[in-house]
């Protein structure tokens, strides 16, 4: 079975940076989709940034483009989300997820397309 464990969340002032990490265990393949999602209180879970596990394809939500960067270390089975210029509206629980191969931005950023999820890590940005 696939398991994911996120870390790196915390409290940061607006304009600051955080780096989230996701450690994966179990089987998965280079063509799997992997990504970061977030859910704020009272809101639906939304796609933040997603990629093909083996590289070559990345997508970002418009709200984070230019501020967040997704990356991976395949040898270590790690996925990262570097978050810069954080805003109070970035406050949410951030989840790492993976699932079977996908096609297109809308699919990659769609939480319902993913089968395996981590427990989430809280990110709070103060104004």
- Mean pLDDT by runs of 10 across the 127 residues of the chain is 94 98 87 95 96 93 98 89 98 96 96 97 97
Sign of the Cα torsion 45, 38, 55, 26 reads negative
- Contact criterion met (CB below 8 Å) for 41 and 122: no
pLDDT of residue 54: 87
pLDDT at position 121 is 98
d(CA 127, CA 118): 28
Predicted pLDDT of residue 48: 98
Q: Output Rg (C-alpha) for the chain, integer angstroms.
A: 13
């Amino acid at each position: 079975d696939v398991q994911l464990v996120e870390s790196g969340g915390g409290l940061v002032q607006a304009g600051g940076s955080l780096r989230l990490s996701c450690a994966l265990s179990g089987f998965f393949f280079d063509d799997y989709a992997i990504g970061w999602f977030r859910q704020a209180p009272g809101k639906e879970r939304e796609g933040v940034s997603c990629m093909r596990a083996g590289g070559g394809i990345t997508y970002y939500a418009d709200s984070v483009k230019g501020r967040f960067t997704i990356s991976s270390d395949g040898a270590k089975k790690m996925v990262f989300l570097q978050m810069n210029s954080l805003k109070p509206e970035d406050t949410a629980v951030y989840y790492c997820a993976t699932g079977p191969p996908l096609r297109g931005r809308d699919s990659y950023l769609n939480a319902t397309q993913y089968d395996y999820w981590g427990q989430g890590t809280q990110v709070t940005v103060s104004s």
